[in-house]
Structure 1
Amino acid sequence: MRPEIAVLDIQGQFRVYTEFYRADAAEKTIILVNGSMATTASFAQTARNLYPKFNVVLYDQPYAGKSKAHNLHSQPLTKELEGQILLELIDHFAAEHILSFSWGGAAALIALAQRPRRIEKAVISSFSPVVNVHMRDYLERGVRHLGAFDRYELGHLVNDTIGKHLPSLFKRFNYKHVSTLDIHEYVQMHFHISQVLCIDQLCYLNAAQNIDVPVLFLNGEWDEYTAAEDAKLFGKHVANCQFSTLKSTGHFLDMEHKAACSDSQKALLSFLKPEPATKRSRYNEVQHHHAFAL
């Protein structure tokens, strides 16, 4: 797996580092949306689960990973802007599917609510519309450590809460990553968490009502923070949705153990499997007739 690497200009405002894993036999392209404080490296296992059945697109938000050297960081990005960036990338790579992880689900929902005509299916993993007592405790402690730029306490907090089911090696990588971020990244996360703590929780559900493609909500059985039962609230708002709970797994799903990795792959491929050839042919004729513009 060797990606085609590009740094794309987004409307003259941002430059976004991207990795495109092109599979010659793949008929569909899926774009993966990171969670908070994460980079393309966080999706290494997920990308392997999807490639080469799909072309896979990874990217870093303008403030993170290999994008941050190409951008000014004068002010934090809103989730609305992150949703707009995602829409631009969907258009650029002609992606048919979206897969988001954790708080990347907020940007994904915002983008999906705009009904991008290319998108056929979406997977929202480790996300729920509810800030429950466990998530609120995690976020309130996190915003205190971020406000004080306390790198080490923040690293321990992530591993002791949402990352508590990760293998020890992954916890070490997690701690090193979280405790060595740039100051502007802590400012970004402080801004984001403060918004989440103050936001009307119905905003995600209201956005979900506009989604017109099938969506799979994928959560871990042991995840107290974005609980599977809380995610099921989307069932009343997304017209065409499914729910899957991975057994014996927490927030980080396919990263936690081999069985979870296999179960996650099965859930994704079962949901995203290609349409029958006859139906796909008719769809292509419609797409050829109606030009797309974003």
Structure 2
Amino acid sequence: MRPEIAVLDIQGQYRVYTEFYRADAAEKTIILVNGSMATTASFAQTVKNLHPQFNVVAYDQPYAGKSKIHNRHEKPLTKDTEGQILLELIDQFAAEHVLSFSWGGAATLVALSHRPRRIEKAVISSFSPVINEPMRDYLERGSHYLGSRDGDRVGHLVNSTIGKHLPSLFKRFNYRHVSNLAEHEYGQMHFHINDVLSSDRQCYLRAAEKIDIPVLFMNGEWDEYTCADGARVFGNHVKHSSFSTLQATGHFLDMEHKSACQDSRNALLGFLKPQRHESRPRYHYVQEHHALAL
């Protein structure tokens, strides 16, 4: 399964590395939106879960992965800029679906609030508008380590918190990647975290209120950082919202163990292609509709 690779020009300002997994029989295309400090490699299992039922697009943010050598990194990117980049990619690839992971949910909410005409459904995984005590502790320590560009401590922090349920092999890969980022990448992550800590949490909810397509919020039962209860706050703001809590898994969902991978696949296909997929009863899936904001 080899992707078609391209580096795309976005409004003459950014160059974005993309991987397009074409499936001749697929009727729809889905774009995957990375979390902080992640690259297209992080979506390896997700691509397998979705292809060949869909054409799948993965990309690196301008500051990360195989995009970073093509960009100048003169200033950090805001979530609004990342949202605009996503909107451009939706048009470039004529995508009907979007799936985000973790911090990628912020850019995805921004993009969806513009109501891109092609998008039919979206999945936002491992994301919550609530900063609870575990998340605040993680963010505050992360801000301190990133501010001093201490890659070693950042790597250990990720593995001992949001990554604590990952297999040991993935933890080693995670540490090697996170502890050896470029200077501007640590600066970008520091900017992201400080923005989350200082911004009005209502910004995510205001964006959510403008979304008029079905959105699935997917979280792990063991994820105490972006917990399922927190994600359900979106249910009061996204008119066509549904929720899936994957049992016995944490923040990284399909990467943590085989059953979680299968349950993640079932939840995705059950939402995106419900007429063709019969899901197993391992995860808790609830369809809810809300027309009124809090």
Q: Distance in 1 between matches of 2:275 and 2:25?
A: 15
Q: Distance in 2 between matches of 1:73 and 1:251?
A: 29
Paired position in structure 2 for 1:75? 75
User: Is 2:176 aligned against 1:176?
Assistant: yes
Describe the superposition over 1:3-50 as per-residue Cα deviations: whole angstroms up to 9, x where unpaired: 000000000000000000000000000000000000000000000000
User: Is 2:93 aligned against 1:93?
Assistant: yes
User: Is 2:278 aligned against 1:273?
Assistant: no
Residues matched between the structures, number: 276
3-state DSSP class of the match of 2:35?
A: coil
Q: Distance in 1 between matches of 2:236 and 2:143?
A: 31
Q: Distance in 2 between matches of 1:67 and 1:247?
A: 35
Q: Distance in 2 between matches of 1:274 and 1:217?
A: 16
Paired position in structure 1 for 2:284? none
After TM superposition, the structure 1 = structure 2 runs for residues 107-118 of structure 1, keeping only pairs within 5 Å, are: 107-118=107-118
Paired position in structure 1 for 2:134? 134
Describe the superposition over 1:162-220 as per-residue Cα deviations: whole angstroms up to 9, x where unpaired: 00000000000000000000000000000110000001111101110000100000000
Paired position in structure 2 for 1:106? 106
Q: Distance in 2 between matches of 1:107 and 1:130?
A: 16
Paired position in structure 1 for 2:289? none
User: What's the TM-score, normalizing by structure 1?
Assistant: 0.93
Q: What is the Cα deviation at residue 139 of structure 1?
A: 0.3
Q: Which amino acid aligns with 1:42?
A: S
3-state DSSP class of the match of 2:91?
A: helix
3-state DSSP class of the match of 1:191?
A: helix
Paired position in structure 2 for 1:192? 192
Q: What is the Cα deviation at residue 275 of structure 1?
A: 7.0
After TM superposition, the structure 1 = structure 2 runs for residues 138-153 of structure 1, keeping only pairs within 5 Å, are: 138-153=138-153
Describe the superposition over 1:56-111 as per-residue Cα deviations: whole angstroms up to 9, x where unpaired: 00000000000000000110000000000000000000000000000000000000
Following TM superposition, the consecutive aligned residue runs of length 4 or more in structure 1 with deviations greater than 3 angstroms are none
Q: Which amino acid aligns with 1:203?
A: C
Paired position in structure 2 for 1:238? 238
Q: Percent identity?
A: 76
Q: Distance in 2 between matches of 1:227 and 1:17?
A: 31
* Residues 13 and 80 of structure 1, relative CA distance in 2, 3 Å threshold: same
Q: Which amino acid aligns with 1:131?
A: I
Q: What is the Cα deviation at residue 120 of structure 1?
A: 0.1
Describe the superposition over 1:221-248 as per-residue Cα deviations: whole angstroms up to 9, x where unpaired: 0000000000000000000010000000
User: Is 2:32 aligned against 1:32?
Assistant: yes
Paired position in structure 2 for 1:282? none
Unaligned 5+ runs, structure 1? 277-294
Describe the superposition over 1:136-179 as per-residue Cα deviations: whole angstroms up to 9, x where unpaired: 00000000000111110110000000000000000000000000
Q: Distance in 2 between matches of 1:76 and 1:15?
A: 15
3-state DSSP class of the match of 1:17?
A: strand
Paired position in structure 1 for 2:55? 55
Q: Distance in 1 between matches of 2:223 and 2:202?
A: 21
3-state DSSP class of the match of 2:66?
A: helix
3-state DSSP class of the match of 2:159?
A: helix
3-state DSSP class of the match of 2:67?
A: helix
After TM superposition, the structure 1 = structure 2 runs for residues 246-257 of structure 1, keeping only pairs within 5 Å, are: 246-257=246-257
Q: Distance in 2 between matches of 1:87 and 1:275?
A: 28
Q: Distance in 1 between matches of 2:271 and 2:19?
A: 24
Paired position in structure 2 for 1:65? 65
Q: Distance in 2 between matches of 1:121 and 1:98?
A: 7
3-state DSSP class of the match of 1:230?
A: helix
Q: Which amino acid aligns with 1:97?
A: H
Q: Which amino acid aligns with 2:47?
A: A
Q: Which amino acid aligns with 2:17?
A: Y
Q: Which amino acid aligns with 1:111?
A: A
Give the aligned CA root-mean-square deviation in angstroms: 0.9
Q: Distance in 2 between matches of 1:207 and 1:11?
A: 23
Unaligned 5+ runs, structure 2? 277-294
Paired position in structure 2 for 1:46? 46
Q: Which amino acid aligns with 2:262?
A: S
